[in-house]
Amino acid sequence: MPTMRGDAMRGLAVFISDIRNCKSREAELRRINKELTNIRQRFRADKTLDGYQKKKYVCKLLFIFLLGHDIDFGYMEAVNLLSSNKYTEKQIGYLFISVIMNSSTEMKQLIIQNIRNDLQSRNPIFINLALQCVANIGDREMAVAFTNDIPRLLISGDTLDAVKQSAALCLLRLHRTSPDSLQLNTEWTARIIHLLNDQHLGVATAAVSLIDALVKRSPDEYKGCINLAVSRLSRIVTSSYTDFQDYTYYFVPAPWLCVKLLRLLQNYPPPDDPSIRSRLNECLDTILNKAQEPLKSKKVQHSNARNAVLFEAINLIIHMDCESSLLVRACNQLGQFLQNRETNLRYLALESMCLLATSEFSHEAVKKHQETVINALKSERDVSVRQRAVDLLYAMCDRSNAQDIVQEMLTYLETADYTIREEMVLKIAILSEKYAVDYKWYLDIMLKLIRIAGDFVSEEVWYRVIQVVVNRNDVQSYAAKIAFEALQAPACHENMVKVAGYILGEYGNLIALDPRSTPLIQFDLLHSKYHLCSPTTRCLILSTYMKFVNLFPEIKHHIQDILRHDSNYRSSDVEIQQRATEYLKLSEVCSPTVLATVLEIMPPYPEKQSPLLVRLKQKKPLMESEGAVEPTSSATTTPVTVYIDDVPKLADTAQQNGLLVSLDTPESNGHYEDSTFSSMTKPATSTVQSNKKFLLKNSDIIFENELIQIGIKGETTKSSMEIELYYGNKSNFNMTNFSSNIICTGELESELRMNMEPTKATIDSRAQIKQSGTIDCLKDFRDLPKMSITFYYNNMPQKIDFSFPIYLNKYIEKATMDSNNFFLRWKNLEKSSQEFQKIFPANFPMIYDDCHQKLEGFGWSSLTGIDVNTENFCGAGIIHTTTQQIGCLYRLEPNKQAKMYRLTIRASRDGVAKRLVELLEDQF
């Protein structure tokens, strides 16, 4: 113990001893209450307590607080200690404030004043205490109050190094808590960057953290740090460990500073300047070389420090993703680590390799280690290491090794730790679908999955199996066959019953000719499981029975008996009862043709992002700070989601009431709110300029936020539109696993046909990629498709959803005609359902040319010489769909006095006029 001075607060030590000697919780509470009473009396009675006593009592209060008791007094005495001119008293005062006081105390102004006094003091120790306090509890008010004092301390020439270190991190705290209130003068930028060059390595170490945060806010402004960071790094890694005595840690020169510098550089793409770039590559090379040198010490501290730098260097190499030789070397190094005795190293190597597997340069190199990784899966004792092995297998999987990897994962699943089974099930399901060459193989795997890990098969997984089967008619009879076989097992997981039940209901007829699976056998087999299942599953099975009525009229009576049975017809479960009643009635009253229509096989599901990927991303509970504003670029992995949606969400089909359509469609709703999308990271803000983009123009920006800009260009010929989408990465990081989907749901499925080529998986920083495709109009439509974009940005999964702005007018072809013709046609469309009229106020100045241009932009003609009133607009167009042509005519009459328009549209198809008016009414 350090030498006790006279003021070492003997009373505190005695009190702590007393507490420790208490035999029971009650005794401890009594002792604490006695002490609290004593302190309260002292504070109340004796206004002349000296600094030492005040310090002692405040410190006792602090100790009591740390034991978990509320402290509701003594705040004033603590604040008084701040103005003491003795270090020990001041320190306790600041400590009390930092630990106990929350931001909403009324003494805030007093505290700020005391901090200000200390910041302006000549005593560096006092300045430091004040800075450390701000770094601990700094908030918006403090950011405003010290917006000048602290930066000045940081860059002033005569500040002591220790003060600079604190000032840098103090600024970082203020920057994080209230980025807007902290205004850093741009003249300081260069001087802040130059702290990287500071002679004192401690100053540089603290400053990198600040600069890293500032870079994330304004990368261009701080670009100068790249050069300085590279040269500082270079000086450290090429030096001998003896050069940095104070900063050498177990023979490794300044490991923490190196790590921070390497992380700083990951904010930027590889340096443009060839000399800086080659210097950086040399550094990385040197670090990789050093990893091969014999260890200078047997102590684990030595290898840990060295490898800390190495792993960060590898992160940077992966981030730059351009030097294939470095990537492959990194991969080989990690491969060695996979065999290391240290569990930590094996774990970290697996983790890093996961990232390497996503780079095209090193994907193949990673695959060489497949055997070792599979061994890790089997032999590692730490479940988190096995988890990493699973992650890596998932990441390295491609068409060439999918069968092996899926098989290994499946084998491991049987003995896997319970905590990771559900995730493994998802991964197996995703991989076997993604890389299925033969869908029979996929089905075998999936049924095996349900058999061995049924409890961990989430709804999404078995829904997906159904979707795949429904959409691929080449596997339907095989599916029916193996589903039937799976049901024959004596003990059968309920999820298996669901899948098999569903499949037999749809495709049982495909195996019915086989004497081993005649309709009656199928039915009996399924029914043997019925009573073991939950009500939800029974409902599904009832639907299957109903489908059987249609497929196999010969067993209709068996099924009617079941439906009539009290346990169904009078079931206490409302849903079962309803189904039994309705199905029974349906089977009695409908003719076979009506039944066949009602119970037709499921149409294919629209292809969209597999819901399994979504499920995989769902995370654990979050740790959220209270009230504090987190920086937008904070290094958390919380996914960011953006919803822009002006179309009402379609009701989940499963919730529709009518029985005719709700035969348990395993349609998972396309909208999901991931619980992890929280306030930890602010969602990237998005700019939506107008509700209807791309309406009056042939090219437009349809989405933009801080990371990405999406542009569109389209050209229509009759019912087909060729479109080009441009995705621009505005950020400093590459976007990986990029995927973009346009999804039609509900009626739209039959109204639009999408045919988009796949996008590239990666968009480099500041680069743009193009996606072409066609969208055909099958029928007139009113809803908008959904656009759903997912990608990884700086290892953070991102998701953007918005309505894809394609409107009916895109399929209008301009038509010209003379006045007679126009009015002739106008009169022909006189039914009330063909016309729609609306009067609306002007949103823009009422200028003739602008209106003319907008109407032409909408797609139809704007004809002159039709209307006697030359102020009015008339025109015509034909909407082309693949099935029909819809003629439309319009008249737009401005009333400049009233600042109103009257728009009348007539169209040959009912409802279309109304839709067109809706599109145009807010455009003038």
Beta bridge partners of 721: 716, 775
Strand order of the β-sheet with 752-756 is 699-704, 708-717, 720-729, 768-777, 752-756
- Check: CB of residue 382 under 8 Å from CB of residue 390: no
CB of 39: closest distance to other proteins in angstroms?
Answer: 16
How far apart are the C-alpha atoms of 703 and 605, rounded to whole Å?
27
Which residues ranging from 308 to 327 are in contact with other proteins (CB under 8 A)? 308, 311-312
Which residues ranging from 658 to 717 are in contact with other proteins (CB under 8 A)? 676, 680
Which residues ranging from 483 to 512 are in contact with other proteins (CB under 8 A)? none
Strand order of the β-sheet with 835-841 is 812-815, 873-880, 885-895, 900-907, 835-841
- Check: CB of residue 470 under 8 Å from CB of residue 501: no
**Near other proteins by CB under 8 A: residue from 73, 87, 188, 848:** 87
CA-wise closest residue to 879 among 862, 859, 864: 859
Burial letters 428-457, b for 16+ CB under 10 A, else e: bbbbbbebbeebebbbebbbbbbbbbbebb
Which residues ranging from 600 to 659 are in contact with other proteins (CB under 8 A)? 619-623, 625-628, 634-638
Expressed in angstroms, the distance from the first to the final Cα of the chain is 82
Is residue 57 annotated as involved in ligand binding?
yes
CB of 9: closest distance to other proteins in angstroms?
Answer: 9
Is residue 502 annotated as involved in ligand binding?
no
23 binds other proteins (CB under 8 A): no
With H, G, I as helix, E, B as strand and everything else as coil, classify residue 806: coil
CB of 763: closest distance to other proteins in angstroms?
Answer: 20
Interface region with other proteins, contact rule CB under 8 A, candidates 80-88, 736-744, 843-851, 887-895:
80-88
CB of 90: closest distance to other proteins in angstroms?
Answer: 10
Nearer to other proteins, 13 or 847 (CB): 13
Amino acid at 746: G
Q: Please state whether beta strands 885-895 and 900-907 pair in parallel, antiparallel, or not at all (unpaired).
A: antiparallel
Nearer to other proteins, 232 or 854 (CB): 232
Which residues ranging from 159 to 178 are in contact with other proteins (CB under 8 A)? 162, 165-166, 169-170, 172-173, 176
Nearer to other proteins, 227 or 795 (CB): 795
**What binding mask, one character per residue, do residues 352-391 give for other proteins by CB under 8 A, x or -?**
-----------------------------xx-xx------
- Check: CB of residue 837 under 8 Å from CB of residue 917: yes
CB of 171: closest distance to other proteins in angstroms?
Answer: 9
339 binds other proteins (CB under 8 A): no
DSSP string, 460-473: HHHHHHHHHHHH-T
- Check: CB of residue 484 under 8 Å from CB of residue 522: yes
Nearer to other proteins, 13 or 295 (CB): 13
CB of 87: closest distance to other proteins in angstroms?
Answer: 4
Interface region with other proteins, contact rule CB under 8 A, candidates 201-209, 403-411, 504-512, 558-566:
201-209
CB of 276: closest distance to other proteins in angstroms?
Answer: 23
Interface region with other proteins, contact rule CB under 8 A, candidates 60-68, 517-525, 694-702, 765-773:
60-68
482 binds other proteins (CB under 8 A): no
CB of 312: closest distance to other proteins in angstroms?
Answer: 5
Interface region with other proteins, contact rule CB under 8 A, candidates 95-103, 190-198, 481-489, 704-712:
95-103
Instruction: Determine the size of the site formed for other proteins (CB under 8 A).
Output: 81
Q: Please state whether beta strands 796-803 and 640-644 pair in parallel, antiparallel, or not at all (unpaired).
A: parallel
H-run or E-run covering 814: strand 812-815
Nearer to other proteins, 62 or 334 (CB): 62
Is residue 52 annotated as involved in ligand binding?
yes
Nearer to other proteins, 93 or 875 (CB): 93
Q: Which DSSP category does 148 fall into?
A: T
Tokens linked to 800: 């953007």
DSSP string, 841-866: E-SS---HHHHHHHHHHHTS--BSSS
Nearer to other proteins, 627 or 746 (CB): 627
Q: Which DSSP category does 517 fall into?
A: G
Which residues ranging from 801 to 840 are in contact with other proteins (CB under 8 A)? none
How far apart are the C-alpha atoms of 208 and 726, rounded to whole Å?
36
95 binds other proteins (CB under 8 A): yes
Amino acid at 43: F
Nearer to other proteins, 553 or 627 (CB): 627
- Check: CB of residue 447 under 8 Å from CB of residue 486: yes
181 binds other proteins (CB under 8 A): no
590 binds other proteins (CB under 8 A): no
Which residues ranging from 2 to 21 are in contact with other proteins (CB under 8 A)? 2, 7, 13, 16, 20
Beta bridge partners of 880: 885
CA-wise closest residue to 861 among 875, 873, 879: 875
CB of 75: closest distance to other proteins in angstroms?
Answer: 16
Nearer to other proteins, 187 or 293 (CB): 293
Which residues ranging from 222 to 251 are in contact with other proteins (CB under 8 A)? 245-247, 249
CA-wise closest residue to 673 among 628, 614, 759, 625: 614
How far apart are the C-alpha atoms of 548 and 525, rounded to whole Å?
13
CB of 284: closest distance to other proteins in angstroms?
Answer: 16
Is residue 11 annotated as involved in ligand binding?
yes
Nearer to other proteins, 195 or 206 (CB): 206
CB of 139: closest distance to other proteins in angstroms?
Answer: 9
Nearer to other proteins, 249 or 439 (CB): 249
How far apart are the C-alpha atoms of 131 and 174, rounded to whole Å?
11
Only one residue has tokens 């043997």, namely 528
**Near other proteins by CB under 8 A: residue from 10, 30, 34, 86:** 86
66 binds other proteins (CB under 8 A): yes
CB of 76: closest distance to other proteins in angstroms?
Answer: 19
Nearer to other proteins, 15 or 583 (CB): 15
Which residues ranging from 102 to 141 are in contact with other proteins (CB under 8 A)? 102-103, 125, 132, 135-136
Nearer to other proteins, 131 or 436 (CB): 131
Nearer to other proteins, 173 or 914 (CB): 173
CB of 680: closest distance to other proteins in angstroms?
Answer: 7
Is residue 590 annotated as involved in ligand binding?
no
CB of 537: closest distance to other proteins in angstroms?
Answer: 34
CA-wise closest residue to 600 among 555, 563, 550: 550
Only one residue has tokens 């996503």, namely 358
Rg (CA), the chain: 36
How far apart are the C-alpha atoms of 482 and 20, rounded to whole Å?
68
157 binds other proteins (CB under 8 A): no
DSSP string, 178-245: -TTT----GGGHHHHHGGGG-SSHHHHHHHHHHHHHHHHH-TTTTTTHHHHHHHHHHHHHTS-GGGGG
Is residue 439 annotated as involved in ligand binding?
no
295 binds other proteins (CB under 8 A): no
Tokens linked to 470: 């429904």
Cβ within 8 Å of residue 647, ≥6 positions away? 783, 784, 786, 803
CB of 797: closest distance to other proteins in angstroms?
Answer: 12
Give me the sign of the Cα torsion angle 389, 394, 397, 402: positive
Which residues ranging from 447 to 466 are in contact with other proteins (CB under 8 A)? none
292 binds other proteins (CB under 8 A): no
- Check: CB of residue 437 under 8 Å from CB of residue 475: no
Nearer to other proteins, 796 or 900 (CB): 796
260 binds other proteins (CB under 8 A): yes
Known binding residues are 10-11, 52, 56-60
